[in-house]
Amino acid sequence: MALDHLSTTFAALADPTRRAILARLASGECSVTELADPFDMSMPAVSKHLRVLERAGLIARGRAAQWRPCRIEAGRLKEVAEWTEQYRAIWEQRFDRLDSYLQEQRVKEKRHGRNQRRK
Amino acid sequence: MALDHLSTTFAALADPTRRAILARLASGECSVTELADPFDMSMPAVSKHLRVLERAGLIARGRAAQWRPCRIEAGRLKEVAEWTEQYRAIWEQRFDRLDSYLQEQRVKEKRHGRNQRRK
């Protein structure tokens, strides 16, 4: 059976701290210590999140002896984008409908306002 | 504290059956029975998945007495697309790099082939 990458990716992304780690790594690779700093988290807690992200293929870690720099791996995010893209037509249609509804409401309100002034 | 929509959405999407249900609903609303049919799943199992999707705001259910039709709600998927979009620059850069690497390899192989023929 093929590995279900998408499920692993989505599960890894279902946490605000892990998404914040990805956002930090988007501006460049850094060490675990640098990552832990802004989050006010213990090193083991950060390491646990990093392991989840690494297993999901969302980050990779360097092999430098002293510090193992983390870097973002964007391939899996591309898969998420591609999966989501197939629903674009639906939300664009929905929001188009909402737009028409709001425009109709605005027209009705204007008419109502005009009628009120006539009274 | 604001509700963490994104985490709930990602957690709901971290399951192949739930994604298959969304794919089915993308082509139109249908009843729970119709949804359960292709998955060879019990009704309670399907209902459980539907509850997760509904809580995440990914689907909505009608109020018709006999059958409560399920329909896809694309607003949350739009949020996922917007979140993912901020990383586009990274994966495009990465794949550009991969492209350059593969092109370099191809040039090297050609050169190697030419040198081999000369020997």
- State the ipTM, two decimals: 0.78
Nearest to B16 among A4, A85, A86 (CB): A4
B interface residues, A as partner, C-beta within 8 Å = 4, 6-8, 10-11, 13-16, 19, 22-23, 26, 72-75, 77-78, 80-81, 83-88, 90-91, 93-95
| CA–CA separation, B34 and A110 (whole Å) | 45
Q: How confident is the model at residue A51 (pLDDT cuts 50, 70, 90)?
A: very high
- What is the rounded average pLDDT of the residues A40-57? 92
Pairing status of strand B70-72 against strand A70-72: unpaired
Written as six digits, the tokens of B27 are 């082509």
| CA–CA separation, B58 and B45 (whole Å) | 18
DSSP per-residue letters across B33-76:
HHHHHHHT--HHHHHHHHHHHHHTTSEEE---SS---EEE-THH
pLDDT value, residue A1 = 37
Size of interface A-B (CB pairs under 8 A): 86
Give the whole-number percent of chain A exceeding pLDDT 70.
87
Q: Do B83 and A16 touch (CB under 8 A)?
A: no
pLDDT value, residue B98 = 66
pLDDT value, residue B104 = 77
Average pLDDT, chain A: 86
pLDDT value, residue A100 = 73
Q: How close A88 comes to chain B (CA, Å)?
A: 7
Q: pTM for this one?
A: 0.79
| CA–CA separation, B118 and B93 (whole Å) | 38
| CA–CA separation, B81 and A63 (whole Å) | 33
Nearest to B4 among A16, A75, A90 (CB): A16
Residue A7 has pLDDT above 70, yes or no: yes
Q: How confident is the model at residue A102 (pLDDT cuts 50, 70, 90)?
A: confident
- What is the rounded average pLDDT of the residues A60-84? 88
Q: Higher confidence at residue A119 or residue A53?
A: A53
A94 contact residues in B (CB cutoff 8 A):
73-75
C-beta of residue A27 within 8 angstroms of C-beta of residue B89: no
Q: How confident is the model at residue A3 (pLDDT cuts 50, 70, 90)?
A: low
Q: Which residues of chain B have pLDDT under 70?
A: 1-3, 65, 94-95, 98, 117-119
